[in-house]
Structure 1
Amino acid sequence: MRRTRRRDNGPELAVRRRLHAAGLRYRVAYPVPGQRRRTIDIAFTRVRLAIFIDGCFWHSCPEHLHHPRANSAWWVVKLETNQLRDLSVTAQLEGMGWTVLRFWEHEPADDVVRAIAGTWSALRHDLRRQSRA
């Protein structure tokens, strides 16, 4: 478990590099408001857009889910707790007006960036329209 990086892992870096190349600026490991130990992988604070790149194992990807055989009862509880925490963080952020996008680590980075850029653009457009009114 120590080998798994919380941030700056391969899928996250691939997405961040492409976002930066597209001219989008963001915050990395941005703290979830009101939760000391939870962070947003990539945050666009002005438009309140939170991006999470979830690892297939740790977040129980339905496509790649497998439970270790050793100590399986503990792992089932651990992975279910991770899923519940993800739901809780998403609900909390949405309750605070954030838009939350979650992607799996196996999704192509170009597809992820297209989805993020489209959402960011729409939110930025809405923010500009609201400030004019």
Structure 2
Amino acid sequence: MRYQPTDGPLVTEPADLVVDATGRSSRLSDWLGAAGWPQPTMRRMPIKLNYASALLKQDPTISAIGISIAQNQPGSGQPPRQGGVLAVEGDRWLVLVAGYADDRPTRDLADFRKRCREDFPIPASTCSSTG
């Protein structure tokens, strides 16, 4: 396997298996073919993950946490769901909600907020004020 980090020289390492986990839009097979290498057979591993994300203005009275990831309790009787919040530039949060199979977040902002509140409520004791 050969690769070149953005900040260094070309590196060659022996490898029996290389996994391209960059997602469905990966161009690795095309790049290998263009470089004269055999193109590997593509095998997809569907996970049926559905998600929606939104950029929201940060509210420093809620929390100063830069990243948070949550998953509802397995066996809770609810479909498995995940959520995440990441502080990004411009005093914003990137918020994500996800589900599997037929459990799809909608594009409706009110539904998005409801899903966040019901699936991942924030206990008052975890909120902090920075001001």
TM superposition score category, shorter chain reference: under 0.3
More strand by share: 2
The TM-score normalised by the length of structure 1 is 0.25
Larger RCO, structures 1/2 (Cα 8 Å, 6+ apart): 1
- Which TM-score applies when normalising by structure 2? 0.26
